[in-house]
């Protein structure tokens, strides 16, 4: 090991020993203990409880109880699991539902927001937003065929936006302000509360996409006055590949907001099979069609784990681990050409860190193919390293730095093609 890392390794052992969340690693199936999995920010590991639950879901609920399981367990799952996610984002019971993809939920909430601000034509976002959020807005504008306009705030360093630029863009023609936070590449955590307050002062509504942080950063939609939120359940919430997203609508908006698409699961009385749509009074109005039950049920034991660990403890460890990693970056990685693609301030950063390097893509290939390290790559030069606190150890971070350093110091990436072939 690089001798500069010796002290870090000693520290890491001490930090792991003192880590109150360390026992949670045993709650996950770790199929290959030698693998340094640093992509929990993209796909969380599988909880043992989820694995165990699937026996019951398949053999009892589906195969044995069959259609009766709708009444016994499935029909209420979107709100039951939503109510479990609620405290993780500071929402009230009855304000969160689970179902559909993040993108479809964004579509619902963009249409809902515009329905509440007729005549206001601007939507503010930023170039750091996850593209699907922007595509959703562009699609709504395209569909409405009206004079709506999407304004994207710049991020000169690729890391963060400026609050000055945001304030300058706000005026009383803004219907909606929407950002993803933390951002998917740089991990930048917006000033959520201030942004929300300023938007409200200007007469706009606010929609936050918490996909890249929920379960590992503090969120308080109630006290921060947030109108709408969505988030992904398969990253830090560990709900399984493509598990359905959640959606939050502040209770006061529920009566007036008009989210589209309409569908029978959002109807006040779906089993009356009326010919005319009538939105449910509850948050079920934001459901559309039959949700993907197997994928949805997988979210529940995973969320239970996060609730048991507590978001505050998770956040504390994530920040400490991030700081520890940045110290190693300064000591070892900067000298071989990496730059930090994330904010230095831990309060402005989520639980993943982006390292930028001109050879980022090929470095990733070596790490995956030869070094048993799984980061992910984001164009043009970002290597993302996710520090999911429930199963990542400090020693893993040291080991990852060691391998990152040697791959670059030895120029091992030169053996790889620059042509992009991976999908993650």
> Annotated catalytic sites, by residue?
130, 209, 234-235, 384
E strands, 236-351, are: 246-249, 339-340
Contact 99, 288 (CB under 8 A): yes
The residue within the footprint of its own copies, chosen from 194, 272, 334, 415 (CB under 8 A), is 272
Q: Is the peptide bond before 182 cis (omega within 30 degrees of 0)?
A: yes
Q: Does 187 bind its own copies (CB under 8 A)?
A: no
The residue within the footprint of its own copies, chosen from 273, 312, 414, 417 (CB under 8 A), is 273
Q: Does 10 bind its own copies (CB under 8 A)?
A: no
Q: Does 168 bind its own copies (CB under 8 A)?
A: no
E strands, 264-414, are: 339-340, 352-356, 373-374, 376-378, 382-386
By CB under 8 A, the count of residues binding its own copies is 95
The residue within the footprint of its own copies, chosen from 2, 162, 222, 258 (CB under 8 A), is 258
Give the footprint of its own copies on residues 214-253 (CB under 8 A): 234, 240-245
Q: Does 33 bind its own copies (CB under 8 A)?
A: no
Least distance to its own copies, CB of residue 420, Å: 7
Residue 192 or 374: the one with the smaller Cβ distance to its own copies is 374
Q: Does 148 bind its own copies (CB under 8 A)?
A: no
Q: Does 267 bind its own copies (CB under 8 A)?
A: yes
The residue within the footprint of its own copies, chosen from 1, 49, 127, 307 (CB under 8 A), is 127
Give the footprint of its own copies on residues 189-218 (CB under 8 A): none
Tokens 């579509």, residue?
107
Q: Does 142 bind its own copies (CB under 8 A)?
A: yes
Report how far apart the first and last C-alpha atoms of the chain are (Å, whole number): 29
Residue 28 or 224: the one with the smaller Cβ distance to its own copies is 28
What DSSP character marks residue 191?
Answer: -
The rounded distance, in Å, linking the Cα atoms of 105 and 84 is 18
The residue within the footprint of its own copies, chosen from 96, 134, 226, 321 (CB under 8 A), is 134
Contact 176, 204 (CB under 8 A): yes
The rounded distance, in Å, linking the Cα atoms of 205 and 280 is 22
Q: Does 103 bind its own copies (CB under 8 A)?
A: yes
- Nearest to residue 40, comparing CAs of 235, 302, 316, 325? 235
Segment near its own copies (CB under 8 A); pick from 89-97, 142-150, 202-210, 351-359: 142-150
The rounded distance, in Å, linking the Cα atoms of 131 and 67 is 38
Residue 142 or 193: the one with the smaller Cβ distance to its own copies is 142
Interaction pattern, residues 342-381, with its own copies; x per rule: CB under 8 A = --------------------------x-----x-x-xx--
The residue within the footprint of its own copies, chosen from 87, 94, 139, 346 (CB under 8 A), is 139
The residue within the footprint of its own copies, chosen from 8, 130, 248, 325 (CB under 8 A), is 130
Contact 246, 268 (CB under 8 A): no
The rounded distance, in Å, linking the Cα atoms of 47 and 44 is 9
The rounded distance, in Å, linking the Cα atoms of 182 and 209 is 9
Residues in Cβ contact with 364 at an 8 Å cutoff, skipping those fewer than 6 apart: 375, 376, 377, 383, 422
Q: Pull the structure tokens for residue 68.
A: 């009766």
Segment near its own copies (CB under 8 A); pick from 198-206, 267-275, 300-308, 320-328: 267-275
């Amino acid at each position: 090991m690089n001798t500069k890392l010796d002290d870090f390794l000693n520290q890491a052992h001490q930090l792991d020993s003192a880590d109150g969340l360390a026992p949670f690693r045993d709650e996950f199936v770790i199929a290959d203990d030698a693998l340094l999995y640093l992509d929990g920010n993209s796909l969380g590991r599988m909880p043992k409880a989820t694995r165990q639950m699937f026996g019951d879901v398949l053999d009892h609920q589906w195969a044995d109880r069959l259609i009766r399981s709708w009444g016994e367990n499935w029909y209420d799952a979107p709100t039951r699991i939503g109510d479990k996610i609620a405290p993780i984002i500071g929402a009230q019971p009855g304000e969160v539902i689970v179902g559909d993809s993040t993108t479809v939920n964004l579509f619902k909430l963009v249409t809902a927001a515009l329905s509440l601000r007729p005549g206001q034509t601007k939507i503010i976002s930023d170039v750091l937003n996850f593209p699907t959020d922007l595509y959703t807005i562009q699609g709504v504008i395209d569909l409405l065929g009206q004079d709506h306009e999407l304004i994207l705030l710049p991020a000169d360093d690729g890391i963060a936006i400026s609050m000055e630029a945001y304030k300058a863009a706000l005026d009383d023609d803004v219907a909606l302000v929407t950002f993803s936070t933390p951002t998917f590449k740089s991990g930048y955590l917006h000033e959520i509360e201030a942004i929300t307050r300023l938007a409200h002062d200007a007469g706009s509504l606010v929609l936050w996409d918490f996909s890249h942080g929920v379960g590992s950063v503090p969120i308080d939609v109630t006290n921060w006055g947030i109108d709408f939120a969505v988030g992904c359940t398969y990253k830090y919430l560990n709900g399984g590949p493509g598990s359905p997203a959640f959606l939050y609508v502040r209770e006061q908006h529920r009566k007036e907001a008009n989210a589209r698409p309409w569908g029978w699961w959002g109807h006040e009385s779906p089993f009356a099979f009326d010919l005319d749509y009538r939105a449910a009074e509850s948050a079920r109005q934001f459901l559309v069609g039959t949700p993907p039950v197997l994928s949805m049920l997988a979210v529940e034991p995973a969320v239970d784990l996060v609730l048991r660990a507590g978001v505050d403890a998770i956040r504390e460890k994530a920040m400490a681990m991030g700081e520890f990693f940045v110290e190693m970056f300064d000591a070892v990685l900067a000298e071989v050409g990496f730059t930090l693609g994330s904010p230095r301030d831990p309060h402005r950063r989520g639980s993943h860190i982006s390292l930028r390097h001109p050879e980022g893509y090929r470095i990733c290939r070596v790490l995956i193919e030869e070094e048993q390290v799984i980061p992910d790559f984001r164009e043009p030069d970002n290597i993302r390293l996710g520090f999911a606190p429930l199963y990542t150890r400090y020693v893993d971070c040291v080991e990852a730095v060691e391998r990152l350093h040697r791959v670059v110091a030895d120029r091992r990436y030169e053996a790889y093609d620059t042509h992009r072939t991976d999908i993650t």
